[in-house]
Structure 1
Amino acid sequence: MIIDFDPDKSARNEKERDLPFTAVERFDWEGALFHEDDRYDYPEQRFIGLGKIGQRVHVVCFTPTENGIRVISLRKANTREVKRYENVAHE
């Protein structure tokens, strides 16, 4: 899977959250939870993934591309999101 992203946006994310978009390469896609992000009328189909990078749960927003994904945002999951992930992961 090819992971694409805006390098300037990744640099801002790294500065603000200490989390560059290249970290998505370590995201646990197989164990992640996904849902479509339909909160707004986006110009493309977007998905939100909740899964681990290392031992910590993260949230990645992305859009599918022909050969992979384009990362829109990446952050550490908040307490509510971690609980949701853990509840579903242990079912």
Structure 2
Amino acid sequence: MEFEWDGNKAEANLSKHGVSFDEAKTVFDDPLYIDFYDPDYSDEENRYIIIGESQQRRLLIVSYTERNHKIRLISAREVTKK
């Protein structure tokens, strides 16, 4: 599985949410992850949400799309109660 992301977006995500995209991509290795289509943000391209545990043992929610046979990360944050 190949991953890609925008460097500026990755820096902004780390600053705002405290989650690096390098950590976020490890959620895809969680055998118990849940993913689903995100119709609210799929106007221009199909977007998906994955929820799973990272290798740092944090429960993360990650937004992504698929481009050119790669997974492109869009945002990532720790799951919290609201």
TMscore range, shorter length: 0.7 to 0.9
TM-score, L = length of structure 1 = 0.76
| Unaligned runs of at least 5 residues, structure 2 | none
Superposition deviation, residue 65 in structure 1? 2.4
Aligned-pair identity (%): 25
1:75 to 48, 62, 77: 77
Higher relative contact order (CA 8 A, sep 6+): 2
TM-score, length-scaled by structure 2:
0.83
Q: How many residues align?
A: 80
- Bigger Rg, structure 1 or 2: 1
Aligned CA distance change for structure 1 residues 2 and 47 (closer, same or farther; 3 Å) = same
Unaligned runs of 5+ residues in structure 1 are 81-91
- Correspondence list, 1:1-91, <5 A: 1-27=1-27, 28-53=29-54, 54-79=56-81
| Contact kept? 2:13, 2:19, Cα under 8 Å | yes
Provide the aligned C-alpha RMSD in A. Answer: 1.7
